[in-house]
Chains A and B, each alone.
Chain A
Amino acid sequence: MWQTMLLKSIEQGLVFGIMALGVYITFKILNFADLTVDGSFPLGAAVAASLIVGGHSPFTATLAAILAGALAGYITGILNTSAKISDLLAGILTMTSLYSINLRIMGRPNIPLLNQPTVFSMIQGAIENVFPGFPIRYLYLILFIIIVFVIKLLLDAFLKTQLGFALRATGDNPQMIRSQGVNTDFMKIIGLSLSNALISLSGALVAQYQGFADVGMGIGTIIAGLASVIIGDALFGEKSIFISTLSVLFGSFLYRFSISLVLSFRLAQASDLKLLTALVVIVALTAPRFKKTFKGFKISSEKG
């Protein structure tokens, strides 16, 4: 049972980790409190599930989910930069409208994918043909590790390009980067699109992994994403981009693991999940301060 729990936590930590990387882009790099997340995550699931049920290839469906997420982020960006709506409100507006849009896309509140082809079932079929003895039990784990680390390394590389530098400086010191000739509005839109594309991809993969898309599956996504970012940050700090993104993924695993731990001890029931989520975030946010106080350090008041 322990082994299964650990395996499931790692799998979930990885697949939701893609979403957490998206949250990392907006909250940590762009310094933009983006709440689009709770809408763009189920958007990815809705687009992917609807297209799969409609007979399209799961790969096309997943790609469409990525584009839909990017579009959602783009809209939040336009609301913020062109319409001058504050970052929080812009995200909430997109998130709220996405709830209706997701219902429209799905046509009903829930789409089961149990007897449908998914990205994973197709890869599983291909692998079974080539390597008959492949340990299918670890298929998801191996696939997720590959997918997530490719995304992580691509993101690391992006953040080291000129465009990535400009994105980081936009979150760090917008006045300075404008005086260096960078359009900060444009950078915000790029960051939000990229972030929500990842979040939507995560939603699409989660739907195919758990076997259904549900219109309510987005509630609390932002908290889970934040928890991952904050836990990772508290444990490893911001030494480099490589370490930061890695710690987000580790934070995502720790978050999933602690949730399933509490549930497995029957300390709580499944419906308490969102409450637990919030509690985990509160602990993650306050623990570093206590740690510093105990060590006799001055509590730093820098942003975080």
Chain B
Amino acid sequence: MLVLEHISKTFNPGTPNENQVFSDLSLKVEDGDFITVIGSNGAGKSTMLNAIAGVFPVDSGKIFLDGNDITNLPEYRRAAFIGRVFQDPMLGTSPSMTIEENLSLAFCRANNVSLRWGLDFNKRKTFKKYLSNIPLGLEKRLTTKVKLLSGGQRQALTLIMATMKKPRLLLLDEHTAALDPKTAMLVNDLTEKIIETNNITTIMVTHNLEHAIKMGNRLIMMHKGKIVMDIKGEEKATMTIPRLLNKFEQLQGEKFAEDRVMLA
């Protein structure tokens, strides 16, 4: 359903800072796929997600979603189909607005915002129901400003906001990387639960190899702007970290280098 065809992107072309992130990148994502993406530093993982989300235009190539060409659609229009959670917990929510106001923004996602009230009794009831699915007690704090929440609470909130209206595609960009291990586990469990319950097609970038192997049905490894490994089904289910690293060395003839990578 999502197809990237020969995408290329170079930042700051023609300057000393020129940086070709990828040239001729192609990827086909099937309906219901839950893809985990790993890769060394500068492999182009986040850039790929940003290109899909439309944060910047690609230099060449085409992006199709459900057969529609979305290559030239601006970011805010793609938001109708795409839910996102960022690595930085600050980025996904509006800090000086309350929890219920933030949820209301997500509730209206992709609809034209109008002069109707942002909140009413029914919406509050719905929001409480959503929030009571996560063991953080947020359902009792609807009128708390989001800036008073912890990073983990914000990421959980962002995740709920990104999936409240089922997106065609969910993009997770190392969304647990900035959290402490315990909260990261909670947010990861919540992620799996939401994705499974709603059968949401997902691409998740992670630097945690264990998560990458354990979660999802398909694993992609990127290196220097190319997809160097794409495993699914039986091969993915039986994959271990040593075998993954071995396979990478065989393929590339060099060691997997990611200073932030977590082996366990």
Contacts and interface: CB of A to CB of B under 8 A. Distances in A.
Contact of B105 (A160, A175, A180, A238): A180
A213 B162 CA distance: 52
A162 B114 contact: yes
B97 A165 contact: yes
Interface in B243-260: none
A181 B80 contact: yes
A183 interface: yes
A172 B92 CA distance: 11
Given A161-B115, A161-B116, A166-B105, A179 B94 contact: no
Interface string B67-90: 000000011110110111010001
B118 A164 contact: yes
Interface string A179-202: 111111000000000000000000
Given A165-B101, A169-B105, A179 B95 contact: no
Interface string B92-130: 111111000110111011110111111100000000000
A292 interface: no
A176 B91 contact: yes
Which secondary structure dominates chain B's binding surface? loop
A161 B118 contact: yes
A162 B117 CA distance: 6
B76 A181 contact: yes
Nearest to B79: A181
Contacts of B90: 173
Contact of A178 (B76, B83, B111): B76
Which secondary structure dominates chain A's binding surface? helix
A168 interface: yes
Contacts, number: 89
A184 B76 contact: yes
A268 interface: no
A238 B83 CA distance: 31
Contacts of B115: 158, 161-163
B117 A176 contact: no
B79 A176 contact: no
Contacts of A176: 91-94
Contacts of A164: 118
Residue of A161, A163, A181, A182 most packed against chain B (CB within 10 A): A181
Contacts of B102: 169
Interface string B126-166: 00000000000000000000000000000000000110000
A93 interface: no
A160 B161 contact: no
Nearest to B116: A162
Given A161-B118, A164-B118, A182-B113, A238 B96 contact: yes
A91 B77 CA distance: 28
A179 to B, nearest CB: 5
A157 to B, nearest CB: 9
Interface of B: 53, 74-77, 79-80, 82-84, 86, 90-97, 101-102, 104-106, 108-111, 113-119, 161-162
19 contacts: A162-B113, A165-B108, A166-B113, A168-B94, A173-B91, A173-B93, A176-B91, A176-B92, A177-B105, A178-B79, A179-B83, A179-B92, A179-B162, A180-B79, A180-B108, A181-B110, A181-B111, A183-B74, A238-B96
In the A-B complex, the 5 residue pairs with the smallest Cβ-Cβ separation, listed nearest first, are A181-B79, A162-B113, A172-B94, A169-B94, A165-B118
